[in-house]
Structure 1
Amino acid sequence: MSSLVQNNLKGYLRQDGRKGIRNLVVVAYLVECAHHVAREISTQFRNQQVHLIGFGGCYPNSYADKMMNALCTHQNVGAVLLVSLGCESFNRLRLQQTIEESGRPVKLVGIQSVGGTRKAIDEGIDFISSALEEIKSVPVVNISLSELSVGVVCGGSDATSGITSNPAVGNAFDLIIENGGTAIFENTGEMIGLEKIMSNRATTPLLADELKKAVEKAAKYYSIMGHGSFAPGNAEGGLTTLEEKSMGAYCKTGNSPVSGMIKPGDIPQKTGLYLMDIVPDGNPRFGFPNPNDSSEIAELIASGAHCVLFTTGRGSVVGSAIAPVIKVCANPETFKRMEEDMDINAGKILYNQATIKEVGQEIVQKILSLASGQQTCSEMLGHQEFVLGYKTFEPIGPSCLP
């Protein structure tokens, strides 16, 4: 704990008392028909802190609504431009009201009502120009690790992931919890067979039962749909079985007690370690619980993650809108080949050039550096990937909360 440098860490104070490590403007389209206009607006500010997100569906979905409300009021967000076609089913007025009540500048541009594409783009550009100036007055205050929330995903896993990057992240998570922070892991589809081990770490018997049920739901989903989390790319990277991948993925959770379980868009009200259940509730429907890594990242951010750790063996390049993504590379050969995209070389553990504990501390120090103005590789390269689709969830019960 004492070796962590927490000097000169600054956060942006929001009206609700939360602190962000970024102060950006979000452009959010509320239907695919408004995507082009929103993109044209955001690209006018390419080298500035303006990020594009959106929901493409026209049919209403409570999950997408919850996600968009959480993302547009995320602590890293200073102002929001909503771009609507005008006839979509998304409750744009309620979203606008939610953002207004959070104390953030917000404008709703309706393409149909303003008179079409060019006029909507002009209105959007005018608002963002003024919003970028306005959010400069957001109070800048001290922030510490105890006030940060960190999520984790893995993608492009290979045979080194479970022995370098994932255990190192688990060590980092333990450090975060030790220092009073919040850590969120997800993907119950990679916990199948490990539910008893994970449940034994629950802080209450009722929570242990909920954790077990979440993994059983994932197993049922995959069984009915005929697929799982083990992909051809994993096999090409040297992984042999789903069990091997799951055990390696589980290492990301560390050894701290599991404080609670949440679903996408639920924000932990207390610090600690949380499992995010990303598998939809109800009868399994066509598709995947998460179509790609970017949708998982968006869900972690919607649940309050200031940044997201991304472990990869084969080498993913994605970043994200709203919150920085830190790439923890498992494979030393991948790191050497893709160094410009990777933040942490966990592969040096294989060569005895560092211990798991030392890389864990390096990861936490990288997290802290984001609050002192440093950028991740994906940020410097301009990555702002974002995916949001349809899902169905039931609210979590009291047994899931600490």
Structure 2
Amino acid sequence: MAAIIELKAGDDVAVARGALAEGTEVAPGLRVREPVPAGHKVALVPIAAQAPVRKYGQIIGFAKAAIAAGEHVHTHNLEMRTFARDVDACVDARPTAFFNDAERATFQGFRRADGRVGTRNYLAILTSVNCSATVARHIAESFDRETLARYPNIDGVVAFTHSTGCGMAGAGEGYDNLQRVLWGYARHPNIGGVLMVGLGCEVAQIDFLLEAYGIERGPRFQFFNIQEAGGTRASIARGHEILEAMLPAVNDVAREPVPASELVVALQCGGSDAYSGITANPALGHAADLVVRHGGTAILAETPEIYGAEHLLTRRAASPAVADKLMERIRWWEDYTARNSGSLDNNPSPGNKRGGLTTILEKSLGAVAKGGSTNLVDVLRYGEPARARGFLFMDSPGYDPCSITGQVASGSNVVVFTTGRGSVYGCKPAPSIKLATNSDTYRRMEEDMDVNCGDILETGVSIEAKGEEIFAEILAVASGRRSKSELLGLGDNEFIPWQIGAVM
């Protein structure tokens, strides 16, 4: 195979397929002038100082100084700058080619009373405040394997604890985020029964949540405050008693065939490398298109990781109003980082850069590939319920656990997570499927990786064929097959609501 990967005609750089020694001929008449690590960029043509540099046919940065053909292009000679990007709202929006009913795939899911479908069946303990975290964990731990073995349709008892809920404003963006997340988990289709535990004096009052979102106490939703229950030990005993009474009803469900239109898939990447935008992300994008064409929903997130590529999404917006919602979020992030003395180019991370990524522009262009090619039909606030079907975007930070917490709160019942450097992320209550962008990472971390996308480069497997493989994996995991992260027991510590605002 060729030593470099040229992604689009007219690009100024190509990607090294493997590590390149000085003097390696990578194209007729073109030799690298210095060692280039695997996944890093090589200049294909001379690039003038201050000139824009293109990859994927898009600007990924600007040359700090003149760059000769064959030079290694990375952080030492390429930098981020702001530049105008044309929103071009809706110009690439096209009718979606939906599958008909006879062609529509199915999976084995749990149909809930409200009609929504779960892929797992958990009992959940939600905490309104950090002060109730220990009680919640002890309640969950009081259900041992022997007890749960008597209830084979229950996937487990999980405590969703967090570090906020008090010392915060009782209104505003941070408070709204927390309330949407708690409400989203309380009504999530992967959760069959809920116990909410508060302290009693916190800012995030349980009574307010119930009133704001119309949640009522019932056989599968109970709540109490530690102060009223009589303290820690009394609360643990009370919580165990409440959940123990729920077990038979929560267990009294069975998987049944449901259409793939009931899939709500969170699209995520973490520990990205230069191969992410070449293999796993576009393959996941094809799988996301299949989900949408089967009538389901795919949710892209991580607003800082679409920065510089947002115009590719606004071009696919189903309406100017949808494009405007996305651009409003972009402007919010520009203001948010500025007032906190930050920079959106703080992302990529050190690991991303070791993997060949240089600027946020480059990372974002690879990241948006997870979103496939169908129309962008809505833009959600963090944790806002997904009411439309199709391809959606949810505003969130680029920090993976925090972002996915919001996607799950929005209704995602499966998570698909691409990684180049290697991630050990797991998720409850939505199973997480991990895709390795390269075969080295897959072989080194095979116990954590569900699908290897490195064969796209190694043996020429097509993006479409890999996308079909990923879609089949989504159906299998949604039907109950355990993902690698589930088999390893991951997912208890990844509930991280997005905190915004002063801690007071």
- Using the size of structure 1 for normalisation, the TM-score is 0.88
Q: Which of these residues, 329, 332, 336, is aligned with residue 439 of structure 2?
A: 332
Any idea what SS the aligned residue of 2:181 has?
helix
Give the letter aligned to residue 178 of structure 2: A
Indicate if the aligned counterparts of 2:129 and 2:202 stay in contact, CA closer than 8 A. Answer: yes
Indicate if the aligned counterparts of 1:16 and 1:102 stay in contact, CA closer than 8 A. Answer: no
Change (3 A) 1:99 1:37: farther
Give the letter aligned to residue 191 of structure 1: I
Q: Which of these residues, 311, 316, 321, is aligned with residue 206 of structure 1?
A: 321
Structure 1 match to 2:495: 386
Change (3 A) 1:24 1:315: same
Give the letter aligned to residue 22 of structure 1: R
Any idea what SS the aligned residue of 1:66 has?
helix
CA distance in 2, matches of 1:95, 1:167: 39
* Residue range with higher mean Cα deviation, 136-145 or 362-371: 136-145
Q: Which of these residues, 251, 256, 268, is aligned with residue 136 of structure 1?
A: 251
Indicate if the aligned counterparts of 1:78 and 1:104 stay in contact, CA closer than 8 A. Answer: no
Indicate if the aligned counterparts of 2:378 and 2:388 stay in contact, CA closer than 8 A. Answer: no
CA distance in 2, matches of 1:295, 1:163: 25
Give the letter aligned to residue 186 of structure 1: A
Change (3 A) 1:78 1:206: same
Alignment of 1:106 with 2:221, yes or no, is yes
- Measured after TM superposition, the shift of residue 102 of structure 1 is 8.7
Structure 2 match to 1:367: 474
- 5+ residue gaps, structure 2, are 1-98, 146-154
Q: Which has the higher contact order (CA 8 A, sep 6+)?
A: 1
CA distance in 2, matches of 1:4, 1:353: 28
Q: Larger Cα Rg: Structure 1 or Structure 2?
A: 2
- Measured after TM superposition, the shift of residue 140 of structure 1 is 4.3
Identity of aligned residues (%): 38
- Using the size of structure 2 for normalisation, the TM-score is 0.71
Structure 1 match to 2:198: 84
Give the letter aligned to residue 269 of structure 2: C
Structure 1 match to 2:207: 93
Write out the 4+ residue segments of structure 1 that deviate beyond 6 Å after TM superposition: 1-5
Where in structure 2 are the equivalents of 1:152-301 lying within 5 Å? 152-224=267-339, 225-228=341-344, 229-278=347-396, 289=397, 292-301=399-408
- 5+ residue gaps, structure 1, are 279-288, 393-402
RMSD over aligned Cα atoms: 2.3
Indicate if the aligned counterparts of 2:217 and 2:223 stay in contact, CA closer than 8 A. Answer: no
Indicate if the aligned counterparts of 1:28 and 1:52 stay in contact, CA closer than 8 A. Answer: yes
Give the letter aligned to residue 132 of structure 2: A
- Measured after TM superposition, the shift of residue 363 of structure 1 is 1.2
- Measured after TM superposition, the shift of residue 30 of structure 1 is 1.5
Alignment of 1:116 with 2:231, yes or no, is yes
- Measured after TM superposition, the shift of residue 126 of structure 1 is 1.9
Change (3 A) 1:99 1:206: closer
Any idea what SS the aligned residue of 2:241 has?
helix
1:298-327 alpha-carbon deviations (Å, 9 max, x no partner): 100011111111111011101122111111
CA distance in 2, matches of 1:100, 1:210: 29
Give the letter aligned to residue 390 of structure 1: Q
1:256-310 alpha-carbon deviations (Å, 9 max, x no partner): 11111111222222211111122xxxxxxxxxx45x3101011000111111111
Any idea what SS the aligned residue of 2:454 has?
helix
Change (3 A) 1:104 1:327: farther
- Measured after TM superposition, the shift of residue 244 of structure 1 is 1.6
Change (3 A) 1:103 1:152: farther
CA distance in 1, matches of 2:485, 2:210: 30
Indicate if the aligned counterparts of 1:5 and 1:365 stay in contact, CA closer than 8 A. Answer: no
1:33-86 alpha-carbon deviations (Å, 9 max, x no partner): 111111111123365511221343213412201210111111111101112222
CA distance in 1, matches of 2:328, 2:382: 17
Q: Which has the higher helix share?
A: 1
Count of aligned pairs between the two proteins: 380
Structure 2 match to 1:53: 160
